[in-house]
Structure 1
Amino acid sequence: MLVITALLAHALLLGRPLARRLARAHWVSRHPRAALRLWHACAVGLLASVGGSLILIAHDLWEHGVVWLFHADKPLIHAAYGGAWQARGIAEAALLILFAAALGLSAVGARRFWRLRRVRDRHRLTADAQGVHGSIVGTPVRVLTHQDPAAFCIPGPRGRARIVVTTAARDLLSPAELAATVEHERAHLRLRHHRAILAADVLTAAIGWTGLMRPYAEQVRRLAELAADDQAVLGHGRRTVASALLGMCSTASPDVTGTLAMTGPDPAERIRRLIESPPATPARCSRTLTAVAAAVVLATPAVIALGPALLLANTAHLPPG
Structure 2
Amino acid sequence: MGTAFALPLVGVAFAIAAPRILARADWQEREPVVALWVWQCAVAAVLLCFGLSLLVTAAALCAPLRDRLFWIAPRGVQDSYDLTVGGAWRGVFAAVLVTAAVHVVLHLVREAHIARISRRRRYHELRRAAPPLPYESRQRWRARRAERLLVMESPRPQAWSLPLPRRPLQLVVSTGAMRRLSQEQLDAVLAHERAHARARHHLLLQSAGALATAFPGASLFTAYADHSARLVELAADDAAAYRHGHLATALALLDLNETRLGASRSVPAAWAPGTPPPPPVEEVAARVDRLLTGAPRLRPLQRLNLTAVGLLMILVPVLVTLAPGLGTLLTMGWRS
Q: Report the TM-score range of the alignment, normalised by the length of the smaller protein.
A: 0.7 to 0.9
Worse-superposed segment, 199-208 or 181-190: 199-208
Look up the match of 1:254: 271
Contact 1:185–1:260 (CA under 8 A) maintained in structure 2:
no
CA RMSD in angstroms, aligned pairs only:
3.1
Task: Find the partner of 1:302 among 318, 322, 326.
Answer: 318
Contact 1:57/1:82 (<8 A) preserved: no
Q: Unaligned regions of 5+ residues in structure 2, if any? A: 133-145, 260-268
Question: Match of 1:170, as an amino acid?
Answer: M
Specify the SS of the correspondent of 1:157. Answer: coil
Deviation at 1:78, TM superposition (A): 4.7
2:271–2:278 CA contact under 8 A, matched in 1: no
- 3-state secondary structure, aligned to 1:70: coil
Q: What is the DSSP-based 3-state SS (H/G/I as helix, E as strand, rest coil) of the residue aligned with 2:221? A: coil
Q: Residue 271 in 1 paired to residue 288 in 2? A: yes
Task: Measure the CA separation in 2 of the matches of 1:107 and 1:14.
Answer: 23
Q: In structure 2, how many angstroms separate the alpha carbons of the residues matched to 1:218 and 1:302?
A: 28
**For residues 127-142 of structure 1, what are the structure 2 equivalents within 5 Å?**
127-131=126-130, 140-142=148-150
- The normalised TM-score by structure 2 is 0.81
- What per-residue deviation string (whole Å, max 9, x for no partner) do you get for residues 186-244 of structure 1? 11111111111111111121223233432011111111100000000012111111111
TM-score normalised by the chain length of structure 1: 0.84
Assess if the C-alpha contact under 8 Å between 2:156 and 2:177 holds in 1: yes
Matches within 5 A, 1:14-29: 14-29=14-29
Is 1:193 the counterpart of 2:201 in the alignment? yes
Q: How far is the alpha carbon of 1:6 from its aligned partner? A: 4.0
Query: Who is 2:302 aligned against?
Result: 286
Q: Determine the structure 1 residue equivalent to 2:137.
A: none
Amino acid aligned to 1:300 = V
Shift of 1:118: 1.2
Conservation of the 8 A alpha-carbon contact between 1:153 and 1:260: no
1:278–1:78 Cα change, 3 Å: closer
- Say if 1:213 and 1:234 are closer, same or farther in 2 by CA, change over 3 A: same
The aligned counterpart of 2:71 is 68
Q: Does 1:203 align with 2:211?
A: yes
Q: What are structure 1's unaligned runs of at least 5 residues?
A: none
Q: Do residues 213 (structure 1) and 221 (structure 2) align?
A: yes
The residue number in structure 1 matching 2:36 is: 36
- Aligned partners of 1:118, 1:66: CA distance in 2, in Å? 40
Give the share of equivalent positions with the same residue, in percent: 27
Distance 1:187-1:279 versus aligned 2 partners, 3 A rule: farther
1:179 corresponds in structure 2 to 187
Aligned with 1:162: secondary structure?
strand
Quick one: distance in 2 between partners of 1:260 and 1:7? 40
Matched letter for residue 115 of structure 2: L
Corresponding residue number in structure 2 for 1:97: 96
Letter in 2 for 1:115: I
| C-alpha distance in structure 1 between counterparts of 2:150 and 2:192, whole Å | 15
